[in-house]
């Protein structure tokens, strides 16, 4: 167990450092990259807990998809880094209230077992059993409604993303080839029969 | 047991080595004669003519967000797939276990149809 403890503290130190840099680094791109590092080390910590499904999905989904989107947005958006700092003091009260709320929530979740908030402790899986199967069995028996709710939340996400980005009819000059081939000359050109006018 | 992850650890080490080794070999072996032209930033052979930070079409992000949401859906499918055999063999939850995933996917298909009908998936 000595080596395991060492690995845990090693990963945790990197995790704490990376998380601190996420909020303190001036450059948003660096912050996003530190967040990637934080996700990787968090996945390592989960691996130590033998929660390999969570660890792999953290890497695949957060690092592979979410952080790529974040990096894309942060690197491509025309943000002025100096102007990001503006309004720090005016946003401070609201920001600190939200931060305090989040700290309280995290404390309740993490310290819940000390305050006897939960009925039972975190269940341990058997050694021989696969972790993914244990998650699946719980998800499809005990937590059916949260599971279906997750699907509804994903649906809300899709609809919100589409509704936010969809504007009125796009003003593009693109032509539709399928409609274009059916155009006949008489649809576009009008030949006028005009008598010649004598010059005065 | 944590020892079972040792092959994964070895794979990670080999992966890191594969990433770092070519760079190190390149630094050690390749000729290094820099001049100002070589070191200046360029864009496909010509001078960079504008800042990389500019306004992008929001549809890039829309495609990315939709990708992430369906990517998340797959994360839910995987545990189901691993216990699917068990579900089918248990008489009491045989159809229930199957139907709940169908409901899950059906709800997401609603979002898919919405995105499709709204034209979020075509690019013109």
- Determine the residue of chain A that is closest to B59 in CA distance: A165
Q: Which of A41, A65, A148, A156 to mutate to test the interface with B (most CBs of B within 10 A)?
A: A65
When CB atoms are compared, the residue of A64, A141, A151 closest to B104 is A151
Euclidean distance between CA atoms A154 and A12, whole angstroms? 31
A99-120: pLDDT as tens digits: 999 999 988 888 776 766 666 5
- The answer to whether residues B44 and B38 touch, using CB atoms and an 8 Å cutoff, is no
Say what angle helices A144-165 and B94-117 make with each other, to 10 degrees.
10
- List CB contacts (< 8 A) between A152 and chain B: 107
Euclidean distance between CA atoms A22 and A36, whole angstroms? 9
Q: What is the pLDDT of residue A41?
A: 94
B60-99: pLDDT as tens digits: 888 888 888 888 888 888 888 888 888 888 877 778 888 8
A143-167: pLDDT as tens digits: 888 888 989 999 999 999 888 887 6
- The answer to whether residues B50 and A78 touch, using CB atoms and an 8 Å cutoff, is no
Q: Give the CATH class of A1-79.
A: mainly alpha
Q: Where are the domains of chain B?
A: 2-117
Euclidean distance between CA atoms B93 and A137, whole angstroms? 11
Euclidean distance between CA atoms A56 and A40, whole angstroms? 10
- The answer to whether residues A48 and A17 touch, using CB atoms and an 8 Å cutoff, is no
Euclidean distance between CA atoms A156 and B111, whole angstroms? 8
Average pLDDT (B19-41) is 88
- List CB contacts (< 8 A) between B66 and chain A: 158, 161-162
Chain A interface includes B117 (CB < 8 A): no
pLDDT-based confidence at residue A140 (cuts at 50, 70, 90): confident
Average pLDDT (A115-131) is 62
Torsions phi, psi for A186 (to 5 deg): -75, -15
Length of chain A: 200
Query: Quick one: B2-117 is in which CATH superfamily?
Result: NADH:ubiquinone/plastoquinone oxidoreductase, chain 3 (1.20.58.1610)
B40-57: pLDDT as tens digits: 777 676 666 666 667 777
Chain A interface includes B93 (CB < 8 A): yes
Instruction: Give the distance from residue B58's alpha carbon to the nearest chain A alpha carbon, in angstroms.
Output: 6
Closest by Cα among A78, A98, A58 to B52: A78
Q: Where are the domains of chain A?
A: 1-79, 126-165
């Amino acid at each position: 167990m000595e080596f395991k403890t060492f690995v845990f503290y090693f990963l945790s130190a990197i995790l704490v450092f990376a998380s601190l840099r996420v909020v303190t680094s001036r450059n948003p791109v660096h912050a996003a990259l530190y967040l990637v590092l934080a996700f990787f080390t968090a996945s390592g910590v989960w691996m130590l807990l033998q929660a390999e499904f969570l660890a792999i999905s953290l890497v695949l989904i957060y690092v592979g998809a979410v952080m790529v989107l974040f990096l894309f947005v942060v690197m491509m958006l025309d943000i002025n880094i100096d102007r990001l700092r503006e309004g720090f003091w005016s946003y401070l009260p609201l920001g600190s209230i939200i931060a305090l709320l989040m700290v309280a929530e995290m404390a309740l979740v993490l310290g819940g077992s000390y305050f006897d908030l939960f009925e039972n402790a975190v269940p341990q899986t058997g050694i021989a059993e696969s972790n993914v199967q244990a998650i699946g069995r719980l998800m499809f028996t005990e937590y059916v409604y949260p599971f279906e709710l997750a699907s509804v939340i994903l649906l809300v996400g899709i609809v919100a993303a589409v509704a936010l980005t969809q504007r009125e009819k796009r003003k593009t000059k693109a032509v539709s080839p399928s409609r274009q081939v059916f155009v006949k000359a008489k649809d576009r050109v009008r030949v006028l029969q005009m008598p010649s006018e004598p010059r005065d | 047991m944590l020892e079972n992850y040792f092959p994964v650890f070895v794979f990670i080490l080999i992966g890191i080595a594969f990433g770092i080794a070519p760079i190190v070999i390149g630094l050690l072996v390749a000729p290094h004669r820099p001049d100002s032209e070589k070191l200046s930033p360029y864009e496909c052979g010509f001078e960079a003519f504008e800042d990389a930070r500019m306004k992008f079409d929001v549809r890039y992000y829309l495609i990315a967000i939709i990708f992430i949401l369906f990517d998340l859906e797959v994360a839910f499918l995987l545990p189901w797939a691993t216990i699917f055999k068990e579900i089918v063999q248990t008489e009491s939850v045989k159809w229930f276990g199957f139907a709940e995933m169908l409901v899950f996917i059906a709800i997401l298909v609603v979002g898919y149809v919405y995105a499709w009908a709204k034209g979020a998936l075509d690019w013109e």
